[in-house]
Structure 1
Amino acid sequence: QMISDWLQEPAMSKRYACNLSMKKTVYVLLLFVLLLSLGIVQVIFIEKFNFLLPRLAHCVLFLFELVTFLIFIFGIYPEKPGMIVPFGVAEVLRVIVLTALIVYYIILNFSSDSFDLMARAVGHLFFVLAAHIFIVSLVIATYRTLRNRGASLYCPPPQVHTTGHHVIVLEQPIEEAMYGKKPQR
């Protein structure tokens, strides 16, 4: 509901409101910052814990996320919900990979004696997983909002341009000012 409200034109009564393009720009920028910071955090975790998947696999998955994010950007501005789907698929793929890593490390944790390091790795992975699940929920909400809006159903509210109040002081009757002076008979 919140994304649906955010991706609507501002109400006519709100005097200081962002237009829809500005709202989309802020939304895309915040999503990009979240995605980039998660990528940096994952690189730090890979270096610290030496995860099962090699660095190259994480980098390829991150590049896939970035490319599909660019497609997401080109889908959100003209409101084409079909172009939002690849980014959602990339994020779901990331969630599946992180879930598989968590399950692997939990199983490895019970079969080995190094409980402390593995527990910390699983805790960090849960943090990253929660953030990616949040991104997936944002993408799904965006897709639903744009899909339900539809090109034929949505028409932005008309822009009302108000002009300032003008006062005209006439020193003659209004009929004379509008129609001219009548000839005298």
Structure 2
Amino acid sequence: GRHDEESMARLFELTARLLERVAADRTVVVALEDLHWSDASTRHLLSYLLRTLRTGRLVVLATYRADDIHRRHPLRPLLAELDRLRTVHRLDLSRLTRDEVGRQVAGILAAEPDPAQVDDIFERSDGNAFFVEELAVAAHEGCRPGLTDTLRDLLLVRVEALPESAQNAARIVAEGGSTVEYRLLAAVARLA
């Protein structure tokens, strides 16, 4: 109700003043990761802060996975709004190259990795930094089949959100290896 709206407005105002006060004599970085998972109040607070903060040495760094933002995703309106602000700069980060994957794996392992291991991690991760990290840790710890529990759970959550026919097709593709011909998949899955 109205009381909740007034309380939220007051909270947003106090948050902005606090950040301005803390950033008055030092640079402050506020990092918000994975905005694609954010709730409505977080998106509203971010919008408010970026529209109203004008003093102090404050950097707001917000990340999101563009791959996860579909046409009706609730983050889309905020992104459109932020694009109109002169104080907001968007950086699109591409996937890592094989050399960058090698440097990331070397940093994670604190040793120069075997080139074949880098090739395998690069191919399996498709240059996704999160997957590179998880696959490097899995290889280092000897996990079978080369997945950490975190990565396995993350992938399974995505597969389980698919319709049953798509889950079945994903299981067949997983059994077939990294490349499965469409005609073979269609024949084995018995799908149109």
Taking structure 2 as the reference length, the TM-score comes to 0.26
Q: Counting helix residues as a fraction of each chain, which structure ranks higher?
A: 1
Q: Which has the higher contact order (CA 8 A, sep 6+)?
A: 1
Which structure has the bigger radius of gyration?
1
Q: So what's the TM-score if we normalise by structure 1? A: 0.27
